[in-house]
Amino acid sequence: MSRPLKPDNEEERLAALRSFDILDSDPERAFDDLVRIAAAICDVPMAAVTLIDRNRQWFKAQVGMDSPDPSLETSFCAHTILSPDTMTVVPDATRDARFADNPLVTAGNGIRFYAGAPLVTSDGFALGALCLVDAQPRQLEPFQLTALDALSRQVSQLLELRRVSRQLSHQLRERGWYEQQMQLYQDQLEQQNADLSEQTRTDVLTGLPNRRAFAAALQAAMHKAEESGEPLAVAVLDVDHFKTINDLHGHDEGDRVLVALADMLKSQSAGRGLAARYGGEEFVILMPGAKRDEAQLQCEYMRQSVGLLPIGLPVSVSIGLADRQRGDTAETMFRRADQALYEAKRNGRDRVVVAAA
């Protein structure tokens, strides 16, 4: 028996075979159909699509074969791939020196006839064969040889299409994964941007809007009030003798006072306006829709509430209040409230002063 040689380009051929990712794959109807068509056209009982691996012969599809032999040493198709440009036809294996003593031939009811058309890739690598087998010697008619050659090209095309389909599927899965990762990254980036934006508009200690956020809210409220004619007031609140609190009790205690004050202001302005920390111990309250006397009453209530805070320290605040006057801008109205605050401090603190109209 003549053992099949290895092709000169064996490593490249095996790499090409691996690229199809087909070895040990499940049966596929398209390959099965081509095998049955080949067997029917050539009137043989056995046919197969074989792929030649490094150390075995693997059957992608077959008909009429019981437990086909995977051994390369006895493989007819391993000889076929040595001549990628031509079919290998063995009319009577007992008369062919390459196969006469092959166990597949010498066995009872062994192989007599074999015809194999190599399965060649677009790069010229022979991966295996579309083969026909019979236990009787025979000759194929020219039209049968032509059909076998054509069907082998169909198998090769099917292999190529299968590979392209799997590559596209893989790329789509990868694309889906990358798109998912990009979306996740985008979501995280947007959240980070939102967090950063929130940080630029929120006071870290108290959680209230900061000076920047208040300035934007005041501008928006002024614009709305100008269009609607509704009243608008703004108050500036400052903790009296706050430096003394820090000096006597420490900055941690001072922070505790600011947080408690912020919580009270947030609670009392909820649904009616906006409380913000302007800086240091100074807070601002925006009161849209509040007339002058209503805003003053609200400020008096806030001032009294400060003295009732359960913080264990005597704390009071001074408040300057201004309501929107004709010709006011956000800056001029805030400046009038700030001036009223300093008047409250000059007049003894712990009081509300309303800016003159």
Domain ranges for the chain, please list them: 10-170, 211-354
Q: What percent of the chain has pLDDT over 90?
A: 78
**Mean pLDDT of the region 22-38:** 94
Looking at the chain, how many residues does it have?
357
Active site residue 281: yes
Least confident of 35-39, 145-149, 213-217: 213-217
Strands 352-354 and 126-134: unpaired
Reported as a pLDDT band with limits 50, 70 and 90, residue 269 is confident
8-22 confidence digits (pLDDT tens): 999 999 999 999 999
221 within 8 A of 286, measured Cβ to Cβ? yes
- Alpha carbon of residue 112 to chain centroid: 59
Task: Choose among 74, 118, 133, 62: nearest CA to 99.
Answer: 74
- Report the alpha-carbon distance of residue 242 to residue 229 in Å, rounded: 38
Name residue, tokens 């240091």: 280
* pLDDT for 182: 75
Q: Is the pLDDT of residue 191 over 80?
A: no
286-304 confidence digits (pLDDT tens): 999 999 999 999 999 999 9
Pick the CATH number of 211-354 from 3.40.50.620, 2.30.40.10, 3.40.50.2300, 3.30.70.270: 3.30.70.270
Per the prediction, the chain carries an average pLDDT of 91
**24: which 2 tokens?**
């040990």
**19: which 2 tokens?**
């690229």
- Report the alpha-carbon distance of residue 241 to residue 246 in Å, rounded: 9
CA distance from start to end of the chain: 117
- Asked whether the CA dihedral 180, 181, 185, 186 is positive or negative, the reply is negative
Question: HEC states along 241-295?
Answer: CHHHHHHHHCHHHHHHHHHHHHHHHHHHHCCCCEEEEEECCEEEEEEECCCHHHH
232-256 confidence digits (pLDDT tens): 999 999 999 999 999 999 999 999 9
Reported as a pLDDT band with limits 50, 70 and 90, residue 174 is confident
**Mean pLDDT of the region 160-167:** 84
* pLDDT for 251: 93
Reported as a pLDDT band with limits 50, 70 and 90, residue 118 is very high
326-349 confidence digits (pLDDT tens): 989 999 999 999 999 999 999 999
Task: Choose among 99, 92, 175: nearest CA to 139.
Answer: 92
Name residue, tokens 């409250």: 344
CB neighbours of 97 closer than 8 A, spacing ≥ 6?
A: 2
* pLDDT for 193: 64
- Report the alpha-carbon distance of residue 82 to residue 93 in Å, rounded: 18
Q: Which fold has domain 10-170?
A: Beta-Lactamase (3.30.450)
* pLDDT for 194: 64
Reported as a pLDDT band with limits 50, 70 and 90, residue 102 is very high
> Which helix (H) or strand (E) is 51 found in, with range?
strand 46-52
Q: Is the pLDDT of residue 76 over 60?
A: yes
* pLDDT for 270: 82
Catalytic, out of 281, 294, 331, 343: 281
Residue 25's SS3 state is coil
* pLDDT for 195: 61
Least confident of 51-60, 141-150, 161-170: 161-170
